[in-house]
Chain A
């Protein structure tokens, strides 16, 4: 029985962002933008969706008089990511057995 893939995470940019955030305690918006190569507008929209789902927290601060957006994965986000990876593995396993 295949587990259903979380539609919030099963999107290239959102998955890339959450994969970055799972590896760090917190990251600046510019860091995620650099690493994913996404445009600021698109990334902003996708991070907004992750925030709406409760998978990440977004806070705004100032650093050297410049606005700074910090993103951090939540406990709900970690659980969702783990379930997503488990679901992916369940899809992959049958094909491994056949090969």
Chain B
């Protein structure tokens, strides 16, 4: 780029070009979103298969979410290292997703404690009433997770202007309402679908955008 003086039109054009080029600096690769979309979908579908086909894996499939943290850490470090510019909302979004991760683990803990407390009560009720309770706590577990899935997804989609992710967040919330009225087995299928809609598909979209932006980068500068 030569250091020439500019006409007014050229100045405005240059400003627009540079602002749109800056956007490419903090483009998400979509790999993290694809990873989590796939992991949550696999966990939910496996749980569904266990119930549907009456078998039990020798380990809890949900442990896959803990294992997935390892590649996620590497992805985050690599992406941050390759990023040569920091956006204003990057830090804000990092905290949102960190808060989401903490909330998920707290929710798992609370749900497990509630199950532990509810099981003896449920047994006592069945012994006294002569029939099992019609209230099944498990029916209300997935809606809680789906409400939580929707929030950071919706915010990220809106903040980063990634429409598929914003719609994915809305889809999670829609499924959270549906799953209140459906049985646990179907809840798992809807959770898998939500994970694909909220993360995996937006991840594919982001990855494609990232590749296109990289390709554009190799085109001549202004």
Do A and B originate from a single complex? Answer: yes
A residues at B contact (CB < 8 Å) = 10-16, 19-20, 22-28, 30-31, 34-38, 42, 46, 85, 88, 91-92
Residues of B in contact, count (CB < 8 Å) = 32
Tally of A-B residue pairs with Cβ under 8 A? 98
19 sample A-B contacts, Cβ–Cβ < 8 Å, listed by A number? A11-B5, A12-B2, A12-B6, A15-B6, A20-B21, A20-B85, A24-B25, A24-B26, A25-B85, A25-B91, A27-B22, A27-B84, A27-B86, A31-B84, A38-B1, A85-B12, A88-B11, A91-B8, A92-B9
Q: What are the 7 A-B residue pairs with the smallest beta carbon separation, nearest first?
A: A37-B221, A19-B18, A23-B22, A31-B84, A27-B85, A24-B85, A28-B84
Where chain B touches its partner, the secondary structure class is helix
User: Quick check: A11 and B12 within 8 Å, CB to CB?
Assistant: no
Distance to closest chain A CB from B20 (angstroms): 9
B residues at A contact (CB < 8 Å) = 1-6, 8-12, 14-15, 17-19, 21-23, 25-26, 84-88, 90-91, 217, 220-222
Contact partners of A15 in chain B: CB under 8 A? 6, 11, 14-15, 18
Query: In the docked arrangement, what's the CA distance between A20 and B86, Å?
Result: 11
Cβ-defined partner of A25 (8 Å) among B14, B87, B217:
B87
